[in-house]
């Protein structure tokens, strides 16, 4: 969540002129690449079976939508300012988390229902 506020600060700071443009783009690119690497590490753990996933059905819809808008603006900012590879590297992570958040929102609105299956002893 803090990365959204940092992204917004860097983008607005660069656009309004109180943070140097090049430094804010580099910091934003580094932060997005780091977060994408952490996400890919988590996905690798899910695939291998060392991590588990829990869907959060108690999600704040307004904050989630606002955070996603800022994340996509940050990727657009990187792409239009010469950091295409950083934006392309982070885009699959942002898209995947968008669909996960959309699924959580649908569960909260009772459009999709989750059923927990009990484990069988064999």
pLDDT of the residue at 43? 93
- pLDDT band for position 10 (cuts 50, 70, 90): confident
Report how far residue 48's alpha carbon sits from residue 5's, in angstroms, rounded to the nearest whole number: 32
Report how far residue 7's alpha carbon sits from residue 70's, in angstroms, rounded to the nearest whole number: 7
Residue carrying the six token digits 């140097």: 20
pTM score above 0.75: yes
pLDDT at 122 over 80: no
* pLDDT tens-digit readout, 91-112: 999 999 999 999 999 988 988 8
pLDDT of the residue at 8? 78
* pLDDT tens-digit readout, 50-60: 988 888 888 89
Write the CB contacts of 49 (distance below 8 Å, at least 6 apart in sequence): none
């Amino acid at each position: 969540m803090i990365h959204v506020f940092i992204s917004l600060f860097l983008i607005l700071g660069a656009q309004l002129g109180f943070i140097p443009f090049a430094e804010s783009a580099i910091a934003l690119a580094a932060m997005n690449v780091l977060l994408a690497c952490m996400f890919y590490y988590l996905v690798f753990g899910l695939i291998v079976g060392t991590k588990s996933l829990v869907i959060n059905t108690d999600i704040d819809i307004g904050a989630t939508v606002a955070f996603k808008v800022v994340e996509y603006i940050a990727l657009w900012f990187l792409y239009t300012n010469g950091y295409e590879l950083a934006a392309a590297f982070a885009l699959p992570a942002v898209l995947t988390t968008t669909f996960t958040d959309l699924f959580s929102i649908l569960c909260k609105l009772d459009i999709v229902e989750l059923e927990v299956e009990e484990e069988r002893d064999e």
